[in-house]
């Protein structure tokens, strides 16, 4: 079963590239949405972040999200969800 993780990001975003590389290197399945290519996704990020356009935003299957997480915080969350 694929993990129901969604990541909103953009190619120019260093934090997005780092989080994407972390997920890829740990073989975590996720749906990547480019906020530059999808205007509604950009609006969704602003909605999730209470008006801020901070990325990456990573949504988890338990209904929570993280914005601009460190690799350590992302790892802890994935372990808590038994994804790692």
Contact of 1 with 61, CB cutoff 8 Å: no
For the CA atoms of 23, 12, 9, 81, the dihedral, rounded to the nearest 10 degrees, stands at 20
Mind listing the domains of the chain with CATH numbers? 6-80 (3.40.30.10)
Distance CA 36, CA 81 (A): 29
Q: How does pLDDT run along the chain (84 residues), one tens digit per residue? A: 455 999 999 999 999 999 999 999 999 999 999 999 999 999 999 999 999 999 999 999 999 999 999 999 999 999 999 999
Residues 45 and 54 sit within 8 Å (Cβ to Cβ): yes
Where do runs of H (alpha helix) occur along the chain? 14-25, 39-48, 71-80
On whether the pTM is more than 0.85, the answer is: yes
């Amino acid at each position: 079963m694929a993990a129901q993780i969604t990541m909103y990001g953009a190619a120019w975003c260093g934090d997005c590239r780092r989080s994407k590389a972390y997920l890829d290197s740990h073989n975590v399945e996720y749906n990547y949405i480019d906020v530059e290519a999808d205007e509604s996704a950009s609006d969704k990020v602003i909605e999730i972040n209470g008006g801020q356009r901070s990325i990456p935003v990573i949504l988890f299957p338990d209904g929570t999200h993280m914005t601009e997480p460190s690799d350590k915080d992302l790892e802890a969350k994935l372990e808590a969800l038994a994804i790692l």
